[in-house]
Amino acid sequence: MRRIEKRLWPDGFQRVLDGRKTYELRLGDYKVEEGDILVLKEWDPKSSSYTGRTLERRVGHVGRWMQEELEMYWTVDQIRQHGLQAISLLPVNSGSD
- The whole domain housing 44 covers 3-82
pLDDT, the chain, mean: 92
Mean pLDDT by 10 residues, the chain (97 residues): 96 96 92 95 98 96 92 94 85 69
pLDDT for position 19: 92
In a domain, 24, yes or no: yes
Indicate yes or no: pTM above 0.85: no
In a domain, 77, yes or no: yes
What amino acid occupies position 68? E
- Please tell me the distance from the alpha carbon of residue 68 to that of residue 45, in angstroms, as a whole number: 32
pLDDT for position 15: 96
Q: Is the dihedral of CA 82, 74, 80, 30 positive or negative?
A: positive
What's the CATH number where 44 sits? 2.30.130.30
Count of domains for the chain: 1
Could you tell me which of 17, 87, 79 has the C-alpha nearest to residue 54? 17
pLDDT for position 95: 61
- Let me know if 17 is exposed, middle or buried by CB neighbors in 10 A (0-12, 13-18, 19+): middle
pLDDT for position 41: 98
